[in-house]
Each structure stands twice: as C-alpha cells, then as structure tokens.
Amino acid sequence: MSNSEFTYRTAAEETWRIFRIMAELVEGIEVMSQVGPAVSIFGSSRTPPASPYYQQATDLAAKLAQRDFGIITGGGPGIMEAANKGAFEAGGTSIGLNISIPQEQEANEYQNVSLNFHYFFVRKVMFVKYAVAFACFPGGFGTMDEFFESMTLIQTEKIRPLKVVLLGSRFWSPLVGWMRETMLGTHQNISPADLDFFTVTDEVDQAVSIICSHFERDRSIAGQPHTAEELRLAPARRETAEGTVYGVPPRSPAKGRSGGHGNPNV
C-alpha cells in the first residue's frame, strides 16, 4: 500500500468516525431527553451481590425511584446492576448506558431503558447532561473518572451545581483526606470551597434527603429549564446542546486572533 493510499483511507475512516459519534449523540439525546429528572449512580462492576454496598445501591435506587427520579447507570454488573435492580423493582425508570469494550460487558437484566455506546466520552455526556445528582459507591478507575469529571465540571461552572454524594466513608475518607491535606494544604491546587462539592455518608436515607432537598431548592440544575429572567440577565451562562454552560472565551495572546468559532449563543 502506498503512503498516499494509506493517508486517503485513514482520512476517510476518520470522517466516517465523526458520523458514528454523531449517531450516538443523536440517539442518546433523543432517548434521554424523555427521561425527566434522574440520578446517575456509579460504582464498581466487581461488587458482588453479597456486599453491603450492593444492597445499599439497591435501596438508594429504589427510594429515589419512589420519589420519581430515574436511575442512570452504566448498565453492567456490580453496583450498576444493584442500582438498576432497585429502580426496576420499585417500578421506576431504570436506565442502562451500556458500553462496548474488549472484555465484553454483560448488560444486567434490570433495565427498562437501554442504550449502547461505542465511545466512552459520548456515554459520559449522557451521565452528566440528564442527571440532577451523582451518587458514587466504592469503585475503580471508572468510578474515579466519573467522580473527578463531576468535580471538574462543577468547579469550572460548566454544569449547574449538581449534588454529589459519596457512599462508603471507609472507602472515600482516605481520598478526601489526601485532597484536603495534599491537593489543598500542601500544593494549594484547589480551593477550600471545592471540598464542599460533595458529601460523604454511610446512610442511604441521608443520601436520599440530600439529593431531594438540593433538587427542590434548585430545579434548574442539570438540564432543567432556566427561568426567562435568568436567561435575560445572564445569556452567556445558558446551556449548550451538550449540557454544559457557556463561559467567557479564552483570551487570545495575539491581537486579532480568534478565540473560538461560530455564535457562542447557539
């Protein structure tokens, strides 16, 4: 194969990749926009049914479903299965955002709304855009990714101020201590107020109360409609199509160089 042929085929494949990404976004938005207020629940796929965390995730999802929240998970086993099971058996909306990975994730049987994704980043948009809160149980790299993604978006004000609840103090407290002592204390890489973005608890009822109270105080969070007055006074903070909030474009270091493209209010 010549270099030119290789370049052409690679470019063509990359172009078609864009359409695949678009298709996943369109299908996801089309389905998830009908769900209503929901809570994304994260945690390890390796958590066995005998684990207390599995039972807590089931109870949390059931109690939130009884309060008319949809439950969003990654659709797999472990904590994801537990949360879907709780919502499903409580008669609520149980959403599984399944992902295609080389190890072949097995979708759990407790989903009444299911979507399949090829791209992790598209799937993550759905976790964030259609949630009014996050609940994180003990987990691995994926759970950490989802937790710190939420911290980044809240810290930078790219999403409305969702409530993040971390369940399992024995698991989360060492990490919170490191953030407080090292990230904040030693290096000043975060602000003291950043540690208020989440709450650590061992009690399911407290988690439910935190989520419900926060949602009642601010129904505009995470994709809920803004008031006309808010849009009039702060049009630059309106949400974009991907569920994040527009901010001030980066300042260009060179005079006349554009910091962005297109209309920021579209």
pLDDT in tens, 161-212: 889 999 999 999 999 999 999 999 999 999 999 999 999 999 999 999 999 9
Give pLDDT, residue 101. Answer: 84
Cβ neighbours of residue 61 closer than 8 Å, sequence gap 6 or more? 41, 71, 82, 83, 84, 85, 86, 87, 90, 92, 94
Asked if residue 263 is part of any domain, the answer here is: no
Helix (H, G, I), strand (E, B) or coil at 212: helix
Out of 87-101, 144-158, 187-201, 222-236, which region has the weakest mean confidence (pLDDT)? 222-236
Say which DSSP state 70 is in: E
- In CATH, what number is assigned to the domain containing residue 168? 3.40.50.450
Asked if residue 208 is part of any domain, the answer here is: yes
Asked if residue 104 is part of any domain, the answer here is: yes
Asked if residue 112 is part of any domain, the answer here is: yes
pLDDT in tens, 82-110: 999 999 999 999 999 999 888 766 889 99
Average pLDDT, the chain: 86
Give pLDDT, residue 191. Answer: 97
In which domain, by residue range, is 121 found? 13-217
Asked if residue 3 is part of any domain, the answer here is: no
- 237 in Cβ contact with 161 (< 8 Å): no
- Which residue is it, tokens 């298709």? 23
Answering whether pTM is above 0.85, one says no
Distance in angstroms (rounded) separating the CA atoms of residues 120 and 125:
9
Asked if residue 136 is part of any domain, the answer here is: yes
Asked if residue 253 is part of any domain, the answer here is: no
Asked if residue 90 is part of any domain, the answer here is: yes
Domain count for the chain, please give it: 1
Question: What CA dihedral angle connects 45, 50, 53 and 58, to 10 degrees?
Answer: 90
Task: Tell me which of 19 and 233 has the higher pLDDT.
Answer: 19
